[in-house]
Chain A
Amino acid sequence: MKSISRSIPKKDHGEKMRGQAMYVCDCPTEGILFGRMVRSSVPRAKVANVKLPTLPDGYCYVDKNDVPGTNEVLMIVQDTPVFAGETVEHIGDPIGLLCGPDEREVLRLAGEVEIEYEMLEPTFDARESDVVFFDYAYEKGNTAAAFAQADHIFEEDFETGLQEHMCMETNGLIAGSSDGKIHVHGSLQCPYYVHKALVHALGCRPEDVSVAQDVIGGAFGAKEDYPSILACQVAVAAHKAGKPVRVIFDRKEDIECTSKRHPSFCNYKVAVKDGKVTAMEIEVLYDAGAYTTMSPVVLQRGIIGAPGIYNVPNLKVHGQSRKTNNVPNGAFRGFGGPQTFFAVEMMMEHVAKNLGLEPVDFKLAHLAKQGDSTSTGGKYHFPVPIAPMVDAVLKASDYRAKRAAYQNQTGRYRKGIGLSAVFHGGGFTGSAERDLLKSVARLHKDKDGNVEILTANTDMGQGLFVAFTKIVAETLDLPHDKIILTMPNTDRVPNSGPTVASRSVMVVGELIRRAAVRLKDEWKDGEEQTVTEHYKHPEFMIPFDIKTFSGDAYPTYSWAVNAVEVEIDTYTGAIKLVGGWGSFDAGTPIDENILRGQMEGGFVQSLSYGMMEKITAEKGKIRNNTFSDYMIPTAMDLPKLEILLHVEDYPGGPFGAKGGGELPHVGGAPATIAAIENALDTKLGKAPFLPEDVMNHLREVNR
């Protein structure tokens, strides 16, 4: 490890430990109006009439008629309204916002708003939906010929479910105005996404709006797209009321009404010739929910990763994202990757089993290597370290001996072990970093030689401020306490892009490293200096065409190998996690503790995505909307996990760092399901797989 990797105390440690960190819910509420959404109680209808209760003085109601600009939330496609227009499209669709000085009274009044609906026919199953939001396809080689010449053809369906972010802190924002300007602050990952959305909805100039981040109590994508919606709503209310307005969701509202991970339905058809996979035909379907939000880019990432880490010479991939009248799905750590990686890892597992081969060896025989072409005809420009990482995980987990031992089990308790190998491409897909984001980062030195880092990137607990501080301090050879970094406010920071897509260290970190190199060159003692750096697209990249899905989708990849061991109680169906091992390559760690923390935390989210977390909806109504019935792991649900770091430097990232945040959430679920199917001696194609699924399975096979 390099010297920069040695861990230092986190900047936010002390205030969080002492309970002094200011989350949006901790901001003073004097003079503030509390807001409560009035939401659709039906999945699809025309809104015929809204009848308000008598509102006392000081209370107000805002809806679509109060939006001063355009009643659209500016995202990729402009179909999400700030407040519902003529129709509502899902249960929880916001119709209006009731605000007032007394929180309890606001709750009471919001509950008394009567909505008359004219019902329309809803769709809840993406497979039955005829509204296709996005449709992408690409091909490589000649799949028809490969299938014609195949010795074996295998076909299977795979499904994954909704996953809720379950941040400990729910969504919440405050909007207010002063000096003729609207200010929004709160729990948000992407200040400039919110800024742009506000300008559009308020119909004002960019300089009329400022957006600032408060301390964030977890995000994982939950606060990527959703705060743009909530910000427009609270800002419209603050604009009308002439007072600051605060909306903080309660847990039920946060679960029922905000975005989640897209459920997926995949079909894989695989041709095998002479023991090798020669072709894959892949159909991918994601349930977008009622509005498009992040669905196009989630689907793009999903289909690009659909053949996994394998070199598949002939490939035909088709993906659709369809509308349903479910709550809109959006960004969640992994961003479309976990669904198709689940499918391809299970498919490779099953093809190997069908051929009578050990899945790990079968996977190793198909690995892409440096110089090979990617699914989209780009190139793996850098080493593919999966083989040594698999070795490390096999050793740490004792996989082979356990796999041999866990054959033909008949007792009450049955054990299983499974392994997955995956990648995550860092940064925005294709040329979007260059063409859409055009990130700008800045360093400002004061006369005393303190250097302030100015970017729009947010620390939501993942430790970005430590990483940024270390990058600049190390480059300038300054002590860490000479580096200033505070939570971003769009009034002060340039637009260095959103804190998403595992891009912040790799892309923005490199920008501030370059800025620091320049500042060092130009350093003048006792003078104020500013250095600004603009994004430069890596020259080695094969240009990506999003219409044809050709070229380098990502400059480089982070890699992960996960093994999971389970023990199943066949009397109760209970699935106990016995062991978890992960080898992760996110390049050089900028801070080892922080990278390990990201890997372990993400791995756990991915494990429980496989065997614990399930949203159950009935006719569009989410039934499990609390911590009591949407289960996420407690400390007792987990074994001690072993996290191994593998380092392949990326020359385009600061000190060799690559993207890390999402990597651990890609491979946990397929490793878990592979372990469960090892224990049950079967083949499984869906995640999550819960105790009731174990019981159903055992009943079906009658043992």
Chain B
Amino acid sequence: MSVFNLNGKEVNYAGSPAGRLLDVLRGEWQMTGTKCGCKEGECGACAVIIDGKLTNSCLVAMGSLEGANVTTIEGYRETQRFAALDKAFEAVSAVQCGFCIPGMVLAAECLLSANPHPTEDEIREGISGNICRCTGYGPIIKAIDMAAKEGDGLW
């Protein structure tokens, strides 16, 4: 049994400690906002935030989560910071197929919480673990920059 905090609520997990966080989120708990793109930690579609760090949930064993704070898109979407990113992504039509977006949004959160006023190069680095095949990243970078400016003070 491991106990950790998921989106602000304490959860008890009684399954195998070797289970993948991604599989448990999507399968057992039917939280499908976290996407699976490769299952080997390369694409970032399954990224969640664990203790403030952007982490690919496909590489996280459930047994390692004891006492951790985990945020997925289901929790993050209720925040003011999400609302600022949402508005900016919408304004520049940065969402195409959308499959990378939950991970991308959480990458933006981790970037901005560490660096509220990033340069373009810093944004590129901040989302470099999250692959997007549709946009060429330009609109996403623009949106994160816009959210940082218009949501000034949130991060």
Contact = CB atoms under 8 A, between A and B. Distances in A.
Interface of A: 7, 9-10, 12-23, 25-26, 28, 165-169, 215-220, 250-251, 460-463, 591, 593-594, 596-597, 600-605, 626-628, 632-636, 638, 640-641, 643
Contacts of B101: 16-17, 19
Contact of A601 (B26, B34, B73, B96): B96
B96 A597 contact: yes
Given A461-B134, A597-B135, A635 B98 contact: no
Interface string B123-152: 111011111111111111100000000000
A218 B131 contact: no
B30 to A, nearest CB: 8
A19 B73 contact: yes
Given A251-B38, A462-B96, A19 B74 contact: yes
Contacts of A217: 35, 97-99
Given A16-B95, A168-B37, A9 B134 contact: no
B154 interface: no
B69 interface: no
Contacts of A22: 32
Pairs A-B, 3 closest by C-beta atoms: A19-B33, A16-B98, A461-B97
Contacts of B40: 251, 626-628
Contact of B95 (A10, A600, A638): A10
A165 B124 CA distance: 23
Contact of B98 (A461, A594, A600): A461
B77 A632 contact: no
Interface in B77-106: 77, 85-86, 89-90, 92-102, 105
Contacts of B130: 635
23 contacts: A9-B90, A12-B95, A13-B89, A13-B93, A14-B86, A16-B97, A17-B89, A21-B98, A22-B32, A167-B97, A217-B35, A461-B95, A462-B96, A463-B93, A591-B93, A626-B40, A627-B43, A635-B127, A635-B140, A636-B125, A638-B124, A640-B138, A640-B141
Given A16-B95, A461-B97, A463-B96, A166 B89 contact: no
B92 A593 contact: yes
B54 interface: no
Nearest to A606: B136
B36 interface: yes
A600 B132 CA distance: 12
A186 B26 CA distance: 18
Contact of A250 (B34, B39, B105, B138): B39
B45 interface: yes
B120 interface: yes
Contacts of B105: 17
Contacts of A604: 136-137
B42 interface: yes
Contacts of B86: 14, 17-18
B58 to A, nearest CB: 11
Q: Most chain-B CB neighbours within 10 Å: which of A17, A628, A632?
A: A17
A593 B35 contact: no
B146 to A, nearest CB: 13
Contacts of A627: 37-38, 40, 42-43, 131
B42 A169 contact: no
A601 B95 contact: no
Contact of A641 (B30, B85, B136): B136
B43 to A, nearest CB: 5
A451 B92 CA distance: 27
Given A634-B131, A635-B124, A17 B42 contact: no
A432 to B, nearest CB: 27
A633 B133 CA distance: 8
B125 A218 contact: no
Contacts of A7: 93
Given A7-B93, A218-B99, 18 more contacts: A17-B105, A19-B74, A23-B35, A25-B32, A25-B36, A28-B30, A167-B97, A168-B100, A168-B132, A168-B133, A168-B134, A593-B92, A604-B136, A626-B40, A634-B131, A635-B124, A635-B141, A640-B141
A216 B139 contact: no
Given A18-B33, A168-B43, A635-B123, A603 B136 contact: yes
A640 B133 CA distance: 16
Nearest to B30: A28
B147 to A, nearest CB: 12
Contact of A638 (B37, B85, B90, B137): B137
B137 A635 contact: yes
A297 to B, nearest CB: 24
Contact of A600 (B38, B72, B73, B135): B135
Interface in B40-78: 40, 42-43, 45, 72-74, 77
